[in-house]
Amino acid sequence: RWLPPPTVPSCCVLGLLAVTFLQQEKPSRVHILILSSWRSGSSFTGQLFSQHPNVFYLMEPAWHVWTTMHQNTAHSLHMAVRDLVRSVFHCDMSVFDAYMSRGRKKSDLFQWETSRALCSPPACDAFQHSDIITKSHCKTVCSKYPFSTVEQACRLYSHVVLKEVRFFDLKVLYPLLSDPSLNFRIIHLVRDPRAVFLSREKAAPELVRDSDIVVGPKNNQGEMGPYNVMQEICKSHIQIYTEGSQALPSSLKGRYMLVRYEDIVKDPLEKAAELYKFAELGFLQKLQRWVYNITHGKGLGAEAFDTSSRNAVSVSQAWRKSLPFHKIQKLQQVCKDAMELLGYRLLASQEEQKNMTLDLLLSQHPPTRQKPELRTEKSPTALAS
């Protein structure tokens, strides 16, 4: 692989790599990374892609990296996480050899049942590629298949979509953006930090180990622990958004998209259509009905990684009714810059918090970049290799 001399400035390196990328024929498979943080609606956004019949989806495969190497810091694990993501994009599942036992099954893969592709042939014979499949149904009947079916399934699809919460710096992903063997795009999903904070409180036991990796065990203790973690998350959103929207070379800017979770739940059909267009996927009628039904239920969702039918707007605003204002004030102090940049109105009083007619999304939506030119969509079996 060609690399420029070490004396070339980093900005020029990326530019040269971008030119090299443009000179290569684009690979036929599309690779999408949903880049977000914990409790930000990323599981739901991931399902928008997982349920599409042309998508092979995995939820947080780097969970295995962090679980195995939990004594390291988030930034020191960036390279290992990136290498795993690259291998999975290429449907090379041998990368898990370093993190899972030799005799592993498909069911040993973190949250495997959230992947429709792993609940249909060849990973499971109980459902069809075109079925909308819930994880509870899948887990009941598809758990005993061998791990080798993960790679077999991946190679059938025109799109590989991964959801990850373990990147804190977009620069780490530059090698993937400039890799001519990848047709790589990034969907950067953000959510109001106040909603994230409340959701994290409810799921605190599941997040302890990850939070220790983010800020260190000492900084994850006591009253300030949750705020220290949120500060790092907010800082990462600033860095990723700034790099994605302003620092990328013009040839790469069409491959970054910022999405606010609140905008998705306000108009799920419109936003889902935008996401599919960005990914070069068609919005099938069956999926349109599913998106509407899953966002217009009555529940609020009670468990981590829950993507059952619920009232999505109520979920997104639940923090305004239950999060104490003194916590809001403290959180706004550590996340002020990110909130202003991403378009979240700061609250000045408890009265504003409880005034549900006050829209906390700024009218000017965060800018998104030009979309890639659409190509002809292929069926899941068309790219079998």
**Amino acid 26: pLDDT:** 58
Amino acid at 377: E
Range 243-252 average pLDDT? 84
Asked whether residue 46 carries a pLDDT value surpassing 70, the answer given is: yes
**Amino acid 102: pLDDT:** 85
Is the CB of residue 89 less than 8 Å from the CB of residue 162? yes
CA–CA distance, 240 with 78 (Å, rounded to integer): 14
CA–CA distance, 147 with 102 (Å, rounded to integer): 10
List the domain range (segments joined by +) for residue 218: 30-354
**Amino acid 314: pLDDT:** 79
Confidence of residue 373 (pLDDT cuts 50, 70, 90): very low
Q: What percent of the chain has pLDDT over 90?
A: 76
**Amino acid 231: pLDDT:** 98
Any idea what DSSP says for residue 88?
H
CA–CA distance, 214 with 299 (Å, rounded to integer): 31
Beta bridge partners of 257: 187
| pLDDT tens figures, 335-372 | 999 999 999 999 999 999 999 999 999 854 444 444 44
Domain-located, residue 5: no
Burial of 21 (0-12, 13-18, 19+ CB in 10 A): buried
**Amino acid 248: pLDDT:** 83
Nearest to 256 by CA among 269, 264, 247: 247
CA–CA distance, 147 with 143 (Å, rounded to integer): 10
Confidence of residue 12 (pLDDT cuts 50, 70, 90): very low
Q: What angle do CA 201, 50, 235 make, to 5 degrees?
A: 40
- In this structure, the number of other CB atoms found within 10 A of the CB of residue 176 comes to 17
**Amino acid 250: pLDDT:** 80
Range 68-76 average pLDDT? 95
Beta bridge partners of 344: 361
Residue environment code for 249-278, b if the CB has 16+ CB neighbours within 10 A, otherwise e: bebbbbbbbbbbbbbbbbebeebbbbbbeb
Higher-confidence residue of 15 and 276: namely: 276
Please enumerate in sequence order all residues whose Cβ is within 8 A of that of 27, keeping only pairs 6 or more positions apart, or say none: 180, 181, 182, 183
Domain-located, residue 329: yes
Higher-confidence residue of 261 and 6: namely: 261
Nearest to 361 by CA among 299, 271, 290, 272: 271
Burial of 232 (0-12, 13-18, 19+ CB in 10 A): middle
CA–CA distance, 30 with 89 (Å, rounded to integer): 9
Q: Which residue has the tokens 């910022």?
A: 258
Asked whether residue 1 carries a pLDDT value surpassing 60, the answer given is: no
Confidence of residue 17 (pLDDT cuts 50, 70, 90): very low
Range 275-286 average pLDDT? 96
**Amino acid 309: pLDDT:** 54
> Does the CA dihedral 173-178-180-182 come out positive or negative?
positive
Asked whether residue 247 carries a pLDDT value surpassing 60, the answer given is: yes
| pLDDT tens figures, 122-165 | 999 999 888 999 999 999 999 999 999 999 999 999 999 999 99
Higher-confidence residue of 20 and 60: namely: 60
Lowest mean pLDDT, pick from 101-115, 238-252, 339-353, 363-377: 363-377
Domain-located, residue 288: yes
Count up the domains in the chain and report the number. 1
- Asked if residue 4 has a cis previous peptide bond (ω within 30° of 0), the answer is no
Domain-located, residue 121: yes
Domain-located, residue 369: no
Q: Which residue has the tokens 């001399």?
A: 5
End-to-end C-alpha distance for the chain, whole angstroms:
24
**Amino acid 16: pLDDT:** 44
- In this structure, the number of other CB atoms found within 10 A of the CB of residue 45 comes to 23
**Amino acid 363: pLDDT:** 59
**Amino acid 252: pLDDT:** 83
Q: Which residue has the tokens 């149904």?
A: 137
Domain-located, residue 113: yes
Domain-located, residue 376: no
**Amino acid 302: pLDDT:** 44
Higher-confidence residue of 3 and 104: namely: 104
Considering only the C-alpha atoms of the chain, give the largest distance between any 2 of them, rounded to a whole number of Å.
60
Lowest mean pLDDT, pick from 95-99, 162-166, 182-186, 243-247: 243-247
**Amino acid 4: pLDDT:** 46
**Amino acid 236: pLDDT:** 97
Domain-located, residue 366: no
Confidence of residue 23 (pLDDT cuts 50, 70, 90): very low
Asked whether residue 121 carries a pLDDT value surpassing 60, the answer given is: yes
Number of H helices, E strands in the chain: 17, 5
Nearest to 240 by CA among 331, 341, 335, 333: 341
Any idea what DSSP says for residue 56?
E
- In this structure, the number of other CB atoms found within 10 A of the CB of residue 206 comes to 14
Looking at residue 283, which CATH number applies to its domain?
Answer: 3.40.50.300
